[in-house]
Structure 1
Amino acid sequence: MNQRNRKIMLETHAWAGLILGVLLFVICFSGSVAMFVGELGAWTNPHLRRAYNPAPFSLEARYQDARAAGLTQPNVFIAMPSPAQPYLSLATFHNGEHQDIHIDPHTGELLPTHHAEISEFLGHLHTDLHLPYPLGRYSIGLSGIFLLLLLVTGFLIHRKRWSELWLTRPTKTRRMWLTDIHKVLGTWGLPFTLVIAFTGAILGLLGFLGPFMALATYNGDVDAATQAFSGPPAQRTEQPAPMMSLDTLRERVLSDDPSMDIQYVSLREYGDGGAQIEFNGPARETLTYQNAFVFSGADGALLHRVNWNQGGVWHQLFGMVTPLHFGSFGGPLLKWLYFLLGLSLTALCATGTMIWLEKRLHQKHGAAPSTNRYARFAMGVCGGLPTATAVLFLTHALLAGDAPYVAFWLTWLGVVLLAWFGPTPAQLTLPLTAANAATAWLIPLVNGLATGDFLWRSYRELPYVFAVDAVFFLIGLTLWVVLQRRLWPSTRPAQARVLTPSRES
């Protein structure tokens, strides 16, 4: 690559990172925490914590217990027990109202009703930024495309530096050390980041890409494409009919596909002659999305079957997108690996922004006002999000209702305003990072004091509680390391040699 093309790549990489660096930080950080969305339901309500029992149970009996407890709507969504959610969860929506019932799958004991708002709240921050649909979802999809651009340009810029992939120089200038860290994270995390960026772009832009996919596969018939994945919609007949046993249908599913791990059951128009009962779940030890069996509730006839392991190449590849993005195909160890790689991707976004600022804040003629404003904005958004997340969990342990979510937004806004109008980013970095580390470490401590489920106990008995506490402990540890390195650009003029863009990269 000649000097001119390399300079173009460098400028493209720098400006694309500048424009989306803060947004990508929010997406990556929230995505890392949201890896444990499944564990948050029981973590946020200690009354639901119990050891997971994988023994068989009667799904039909438990559903009838739920109906006797008042869950009588015809459309019900059932989440099966799992190590992260060791209870049966039944939910229904009717006239804008949400109803939840939790049941011990083996004893039929009704558990305290709790809607896991925190898991949904953090999940939506990652998937749509809490913006109206489709604005938020499309923003995430476009960010994935820009992340791919950053990866390509970054790879081309640094492709001749393979001998330096483990090189870090903390004794040199801060900018040089940040550049080394950025290259190491970007290069060694490249396969993971490519997968996350590509699958995230597809998931975010699915609403936009759907008609084009239907055009390629179903001659433009979007309804036909939708039914191929979800089956025909349930048609209410207004004729009551006895329903097939859920246990009988579950046995049929496992007889036809013994590898299927049933995770969800959907009842549509239950009790009506047109009722449907759907079983969803991935095939064990395969990289697939949710396979499905759709039965007639009245006579048990198989109405539709979705098998992502079959069909054409594009059908199978599309079935891999969701599990690849969320790491849902390899068990707890893979989830932890995704979490750590997600944190490294978050750090990659942060160091890229900091390198750009380090260069411009130390220019001989001084930084432009716009650069200082951007530094304050980046500091407030990126520094405030971990604090607001920790405050969300802390206030949830103390207050009920919407108070934790109000506290989250007020805390984040407060840090942004403090960074914008208060001390300089260099002055604010150390106390804010220390506060972030302290609040992250407070989470497992407060949980242990309130419930007795300290890390050493939950590790043995409640792995899903341990996972959440361990996440915050690791976040606190990461921020403590950042605190020691004092990564934000200093207010002192740089004394060491400053590399030119061409040598630096």
Structure 2
Amino acid sequence: MKARTLTQSLAWLHTWSGLIFGWVLFSIFLTGTLAVFDKEIDNWMRPEIPTHTLDQAQAAQVALNYLQARHPDASAWNIGLPTERSPTLTVSAGEQRRGGGTVLDPTTGEPLAVRETAGGGFFFRFHFTLNLPRNIGIWAVGLAAMAMLVALISGIVIHKKFFKEFFTFRPAKGQRSWLDAHNATAVLVLPFHLMITYTGLVIFYLIYMPAAMEALFDGDRERMTRALREAPATEQHGHPAGGREAGPRGGTKTAVQPADLTALAPVLSEAERLLGPVAGLSIQHPGRSDARIEVRPVLGNRIELTKGMSLQFDGVSGQVLRLPSDSRATLLTQKVMAGLHFAQFGGYWMRWLYFLCGLASCAMLATGVVLFTVKRRRRHDAEGRVAALLYHSAERLNVAVIAGLSLACVAYLWANRLLPVSLPGRGGWEVQVFLLVWLASLSHAIVRPWLAAWREQLGLAAVLCMALPLLNLLGETRNEAFWLESVVVIIGMLLAWTRWKLGRPIKDKATRKAPGAALEAN
């Protein structure tokens, strides 16, 4: 028996790792691509939140007036400020610091009745958990990411003529067309494929490789993080009435007294100078002489991920009490890699670059799994019942994952507008619609001929995408949602074009006896 060469062995590894994990990876990449604009999707899915022209200092004062009137005795006030990507102004009282809270009209300061929705955050969560329990999902996605690295590296070895393959595309040539499309999309954004896959693993390095934390810090993640940041232990502030407490620099100060809060505008201005764009702030012990204001930057306004970073001010004098601590090189490296993955830096130009690269990754994965079935369509019945069942199943899964997931994503947007606003657990129902449509697409792909299933699901997804602006007839929209709907309409046109190509007769000599089997040729 002739021994396999290294290239042949890697080709086998590339094919089967790509097929087995290709469907999962397509789901991860498609939802991750949509999550690049998660905040913008959030805005579209909550049309009750009005646009405004207030700056952050004015919005903060509106929120402060509301909290002073409604929660004067609260131990803490928390304010989420409007940012470049979101007009939302939120407030909460007590120890809750982030997420939730009451949404205010930034102009009037009145609470808004905003519909419950899973929002764009659903795509983000699905991207790294597959809607499974968190740790199980993270492990499943991590395994798929490792398979992606294996497929990429083996693909690099297999395809030696990178630049030639990038400039080679033979349309209407059946299997060769699919191979050319797969190679071109792989080579076009190969650095992106490698970067986004590796950095995705680095984000959860403590979950995948916890041994060092267990050995050196007895599993205490907070102590390990402090050591990496070279930060002292967190100060504990006790505030007994009439007592004395440790000051911010280790000294003492007089008993707590009532005191007016400093103006927020200078505090926000100084925080923006030191941290960059600001996302929100928390005020501990408002109305007292020991008040503290903690300001948080927008997540990832620099390449280094800024999660957990904050700046603390004296709530009465406005003096800076604590600057963000410096990280050791190891933690800084991890935070930079995480920042590269999250793509929060660089503004909208960088977001669009990530979005387009993400679509190219989806195209690479889709053409790869379709190529597998195209190459074997005319010979798998001769390879035995097990092989025939495998290939027939792969064809159905291709339809359900590629066309069906696209259909489920746009159905999720439609559900946001069509479900009753007062429906209890409404956000959960939006997710249920997504999952039910996806399950229905799999059932449809099983019972229908494979080519008809492709046409019908792509056609329905195209119609829903192009008709999305019609939901504005319900009277709930905002002007800035126009660009999001425009992108969805363009995607719908691409799906319609693909559906049209599937209905064209083919010219490939090897397959022209099968009119309508255009998936092979086009």
Q: TM-score category by the smaller chain?
A: 0.7 to 0.9
1:86-143 per-position Cα deviation (integer Å, ceiling 9, x unaligned): 1312357989xx8521224455343334454222322211121121121112222232
Question: Structure 2 stretches of 5 or more lacking a match?
Answer: 242-255, 513-522
How far apart, CA to CA, are the structure 2 residues paired with 1:244 and 1:127? 45
Residues 309-324 of structure 1: pairs in structure 2 closer than 5 A = 311-324=327-340
1:63-107 per-position Cα deviation (integer Å, ceiling 9, x unaligned): 341453469865665332123211312357989xx8521224455
2:10 paired residue number? 9
Contact kept? 1:6, 1:157, Cα under 8 Å: yes
Of residues 410, 413, 416, the one that matches 1:393 is 413
* DSSP 3-state at the match of 1:280: strand
How far apart, CA to CA, are the structure 2 residues paired with 1:180 and 1:74? 63
2:179 paired residue number? 179
How far apart, CA to CA, are the structure 2 residues paired with 1:207 and 1:305? 29
Query: Do residues 342 (structure 1) and 358 (structure 2) align?
Result: yes
1:333 paired residue number? 349
1:288-338 per-position Cα deviation (integer Å, ceiling 9, x unaligned): 22142245768878675435xx54433332222233112210111221221
How far apart, CA to CA, are the structure 1 residues paired with 2:211 and 2:378? 50
Residues 372-451 of structure 1: pairs in structure 2 closer than 5 A = 372-399=392-419, 400=421, 401=423, 402=426, 403-420=429-446, 422-447=447-472, 449-451=473-475
How far apart, CA to CA, are the structure 2 residues paired with 1:176 and 1:93? 63
How far apart, CA to CA, are the structure 2 residues paired with 1:285 and 1:140? 26
1:470 positional shift = 2.9
How far apart, CA to CA, are the structure 1 residues paired with 2:233 and 2:290? 11
* DSSP 3-state at the match of 1:111: coil
1:466 positional shift = 2.9
1:225 paired residue number? 224
The number of equivalent residue pairs is 478
1:463-486 per-position Cα deviation (integer Å, ceiling 9, x unaligned): xx2343133223213322322343
How far apart, CA to CA, are the structure 2 residues paired with 1:268 and 1:425? 61
1:154-186 per-position Cα deviation (integer Å, ceiling 9, x unaligned): 11211224223121111312x211110111111
* DSSP 3-state at the match of 1:306: coil
1:57 positional shift = 1.8
Distance 1:233 1:61, change over 3 A: farther
Contact kept? 2:52, 2:107, Cα under 8 Å: no
1:370 positional shift = 2.0
Query: Do residues 479 (structure 1) and 495 (structure 2) align?
Result: yes
Contact kept? 1:33, 1:471, Cα under 8 Å: no
Q: Tell me which moved more, 315-324 or 11-20.
A: 315-324
Of residues 286, 292, 306, the one that matches 2:324 is 306
Contact kept? 1:244, 1:299, Cα under 8 Å: no
Distance 1:35 1:277, change over 3 A: same
1:47 positional shift = 2.1
How far apart, CA to CA, are the structure 2 residues paired with 1:204 and 1:477? 37
* DSSP 3-state at the match of 1:102: strand
* DSSP 3-state at the match of 1:86: coil
How far apart, CA to CA, are the structure 1 residues paired with 2:80 and 2:299? 17
How far apart, CA to CA, are the structure 1 residues paired with 2:213 and 2:319? 30
How far apart, CA to CA, are the structure 2 residues paired with 1:494 and 1:328? 48
How far apart, CA to CA, are the structure 2 residues paired with 1:144 and 1:77? 37
1:21-56 per-position Cα deviation (integer Å, ceiling 9, x unaligned): 010111111111111111123212222131454464
Contact kept? 2:103, 2:112, Cα under 8 Å: yes
Residues 52-63 of structure 1: pairs in structure 2 closer than 5 A = 52-54=53-55, 56-57=57-58, 59=60, 61-63=62-64
Distance 1:453 1:110, change over 3 A: closer
Residues 1-400 of structure 1: pairs in structure 2 closer than 5 A = 4-54=5-55, 56-57=57-58, 59=60, 61-66=62-67, 68-69=69-70, 74=75, 78-91=79-92, 99-105=100-106, 107-173=108-174, 175-209=175-209, 212=212, 222-227=221-226, 235=236, 237=238, 239=240, 245=261, 247-248=263-264, 251=267, 254=270, 257-258=273-274, 260-266=276-282, 277-281=293-297, 286-290=302-306, 291-294=309-312, 305-306=323-324, 311-363=327-379, 365=382, 368-399=388-419, 400=421
Identical amino acids, percent of aligned pairs = 24
Corresponding letter in the other structure for 2:145 = G
Distance 1:151 1:244, change over 3 A: farther
Contact kept? 1:214, 1:225, Cα under 8 Å: no
* DSSP 3-state at the match of 2:281: strand
How far apart, CA to CA, are the structure 2 residues paired with 1:281 and 1:427? 51
* DSSP 3-state at the match of 2:48: helix
Distance 1:122 1:282, change over 3 A: closer
How far apart, CA to CA, are the structure 1 residues paired with 2:91 and 2:49? 14
Contact kept? 1:277, 1:295, Cα under 8 Å: yes
Contact kept? 1:262, 1:281, Cα under 8 Å: yes
How far apart, CA to CA, are the structure 2 residues paired with 1:25 and 1:93? 42
Corresponding letter in the other structure for 2:341 = H
TM-score by length of 1: 0.81
How far apart, CA to CA, are the structure 2 residues paired with 1:172 and 1:254? 62
* DSSP 3-state at the match of 1:117: coil
Corresponding letter in the other structure for 2:445 = A
1:373 positional shift = 1.8
1:375 positional shift = 2.2
How far apart, CA to CA, are the structure 2 residues paired with 1:115 and 1:43? 13
Contact kept? 1:260, 1:284, Cα under 8 Å: no
1:286 positional shift = 3.8
1:348-405 per-position Cα deviation (integer Å, ceiling 9, x unaligned): 1111111111122221626511221232233223322221221221121121333433
How far apart, CA to CA, are the structure 1 residues paired with 2:269 and 2:213? 29
Corresponding letter in the other structure for 2:85 = A
RMSD: 3.8
Distance 1:177 1:323, change over 3 A: same
Contact kept? 1:30, 1:126, Cα under 8 Å: yes
Distance 1:471 1:251, change over 3 A: same
How far apart, CA to CA, are the structure 2 residues paired with 1:302 and 1:150? 51
* DSSP 3-state at the match of 1:476: helix
Q: Tell me which moved more, 331-340 or 74-83.
A: 74-83
Contact kept? 2:260, 2:288, Cα under 8 Å: no
- Higher radius of gyration, 1 or 2: 2
Corresponding letter in the other structure for 2:398 = A
How far apart, CA to CA, are the structure 2 residues paired with 1:252 and 1:404? 37
Contact kept? 1:243, 1:271, Cα under 8 Å: yes
